[in-house]
Amino acid sequence: MRLARMGNEGCAVAGKLAVIGAGLMGSGIAQVSAQAGWDVVLRDVTDAALTRGTDGIKASYDRFVAKGKMTAEDAEAALARITTTTDLDAVADVDIVVEAVFEKLEVKHEIFRTLDDLVREDAVLASNTSAIPITKIAAVTKRPERVVGAHFFSPVPMMQLCELVRGYKTSDETLATTRAFAESVGKTCIVVNRDVAGFVTTRLISALVVEAAKLYESGVASAEDIDIACKLGFGHAMGPLATADLTGVDILLHATSNIYTESQDEKFAPPELMRRMVDAGDIGRKSGQGFYKH
């Protein structure tokens, strides 16, 4: 990594980064990285996906410029630092790769196998997975010590957190390089020292949502009052049941079921109500009905 050419709210490091997947997360990671001075190669499987990704980045930069949070020159320079490609070979000479493709182990395995053969030996291979154990992803490479989780949150330009996850063999150096990268793009990192299902963030939100759903299911309090308790009692920006509706009851049911399967910890056992809501299609905002009517 070398010194950045332009300042950023984070650290003064930048280098060459590849982002695999130009969807919601990949394009957000490319956006904040280019803004911080990183040269970014953004890779997806189709030109249409790349165009969607870069159109989104441009629109977001335009909004920052309109709000006076970025100059038009900086936005133009940042855009110019992003190169797009459908060719995986183009990512060979980078310092860090962040993978942000579909949450499917087979897809991630195929990518990490190829990256391992292609990318410089000293480069870090990071995954933005929300839930797949990093150790499982690293196992298909010959450099598991250089594989790490870098879990950004959506929308990436707005959300400050990056959850760094150590796989079973992740080295201290890999963690430090990844932290320097994430901080250079303005994020605050937390470190997950053991590769547990759900890491820290998904475990916390799952435990809270499961308990909130159980309280609601057993008639202890209304959905509104449970959410008010968390907002006014604990200063949460949003209550757990409103969060479940926003994220998708189906997504949270899947997350907590996975954690429960792996940990066998009863507190993650999904309540019957969440399972029936998903069976009935009441999965939250995207269906118009969840714990609340939308």
Q: How far is the CB of 224 from ligand NAD (least distance, A)?
A: 25
- Please identify, using beta-carbon distances, which residue of 32 and 215 lies nearer to ligand NAD: 32
What is the enclosing helix (H) or strand (E) of 49? Answer: helix 47-66
> Could you tell me if residue 15 is left (phi over 0), alpha (psi between -120 and 50 degrees) or otherwise beta?
beta
d(CA 23, CA 29): 10
Place of tokens 């937390």: 190
d(CA 39, CA 5): 10
Binding part of the chain for ligand NAD, among 18-26, 54-62, 68-76, 183-191 by CB under 6 A, reads 18-26
DSSP-derived 3-state class of residue 253: helix
- Please identify, using beta-carbon distances, which residue of 104 and 276 lies nearer to ligand NAD: 104
CB under 8 Å to 196, separation ≥6 — which residues? Answer: 203, 262, 263
Total binding residues toward ligand NAD, as defined by CB under 6 A: 23
- Our finding on whether 8 is near ligand NAD (CB under 6 A) is no
Q: Under a CB-based contact definition with an 8 Å cutoff, are residues 164 and 175 in contact? A: yes
Q: How far is the CB of 28 from ligand NAD (least distance, A)?
A: 8
Tell me which of 25, 119, 125, 189 binds ligand NAD, using CB under 6 A.
Answer: 25
CB under 8 Å to 69, separation ≥6 — which residues? Answer: none
- Our finding on whether 130 is near ligand NAD (CB under 6 A) is yes
Tell me which of 47, 103, 117, 225 binds ligand NAD, using CB under 6 A.
Answer: 103
- Our finding on whether 41 is near ligand NAD (CB under 6 A) is no
Between residue 110 and residue 129, which ones bind ligand NAD under the rule CB under 6 A? 111, 128-129
- What is the binding site for ligand NAD (CB under 6 A)? 20-26, 43-45, 49, 100-103, 107, 111, 128-130, 151, 153-154
